[in-house]
Structure 1
Amino acid sequence: MTLNSIGLDTQQAKELANDLNHLLANFQIYYQNLRGIHWNIKGKRFFDLHVKFEELYTDANVKVDEIAERILTLGVTPLHTFEDYMATAQVPVGKAISQDEKAVKLIVDSLKELLKIERGILDKSGDANDEGTNAMMSDFITEQEKTVWMMKAWLGETV
């Protein structure tokens, strides 16, 4: 086993970085979806949702940077083109969504996909003794589960 400069198995670190690149691509689509619904939301709930969507896209933008920097820390180049993001991502793309419930459902559906990816990375990072990636995924999961709960409550649904 060969260790990298931060003490992780080189092959496991590379595999985790590849998984993080997959997450990065999905987060970029999620971020762009949030920008779109922030710009295009209409109706009586505009003021509340416009602010909420801005809060969410600001948070997603921070997470995109954290993911990319973790990929670099693991010794791999982060994906950085929309071509790569579109070829890699599975988060649904929201186009011209202006209706409040459709926008919130897009967020819930996107977070469901992100949570699946993050849980897979969490399992692998635990096995690789990669506490940096592990802690990041744990924090992301905790925050996103709460957001799903809140969005589902807003929709009048249960988790």
Structure 2
Amino acid sequence: MAQVQEQKLNHIGLETEKVEGIASMLNDVLSAYQVHYQNLRGFHWNVKGHVFFELHEKFEELYEEAKNAIDEIAERILTLGYTPLHTMTDYIETSSVKEAKNVNNDHDTVKFTIRDLQGLLMKEREAWRRASDIDDVGTTHMLEDYIGNQEKTIWMLNAWLSKNTINIGTSDSNS
């Protein structure tokens, strides 16, 4: 009879060898969130335009959500038995989301926010698939919440953009 190789499990019952890849992917997501968070803070502080007050509040709401996600992701990495990245250098080097330096036009800030959220979604879905493959329910559940919220936020921001688009050179009078 062939001997069955015993799988080494971590302290929460997941295969140690497979969990390392999930923790690495979560560090990628964490890095993207950190850059996204800082972009949102910059947009909140610096946005200009006719809808300043509306966007100032929205960016605060979004960066508070991102701040909570950052904490949850870091704690999940720790739960899996690994160390979350924790320096700006690591975040910048690792993040798929790029810094939005000197972006302050109302429409541009919203477009950059959509771009960031789309980048986060790609990373989260990839991590979700990997976590799902090893029955890491804690990670998949956490990521599902983020994915659902971000999809809705993208839809709402796109609706805001279309509402606030001014069609120059068209006439409203057809008489």
TM range (shorter): over 0.9
In structure 2, the partner of 1:42 is 48
Question: Are 2:65 and 1:53 aligned?
Answer: no
Question: Are 2:131 and 1:131 aligned?
Answer: no
List gaps (5 residues or longer) in structure 2.
1-6, 164-175
AA of the residue aligned to 1:151 = L
In structure 2, the partner of 1:82 is 88
In structure 2, the partner of 1:5 is 11
In structure 1, the partner of 2:126 is 120
Per-residue deviation at 1:92? Answer: 2.4
Normalising by structure 1, we get a TM-score of: 0.97
When you count helix as a share of all residues, which structure comes out higher? 1
Mapped to 1, the partners of 2:124 and 2:147 lie a distance apart of 7
List 4+ stretches of structure 1 deviating above 2 A. none
Mapped to 2, the partners of 1:9 and 1:151 lie a distance apart of 40
Normalising by structure 2, we get a TM-score of: 0.88
Identity %: 50
Question: Are 2:129 and 1:108 aligned?
Answer: no
List gaps (5 residues or longer) in structure 1.
none
Per-residue deviation at 1:53? Answer: 0.3
SS in 2 for 1:156: helix
Mapped to 2, the partners of 1:126 and 1:90 lie a distance apart of 22
- The two structures, once aligned, show a CA RMSD in angstroms of 0.9
For the Cα contact (< 8 Å) 1:26–1:89, is it kept in 2?
A: yes
For the Cα contact (< 8 Å) 1:25–1:84, is it kept in 2?
A: yes
Question: Are 2:39 and 1:33 aligned?
Answer: yes
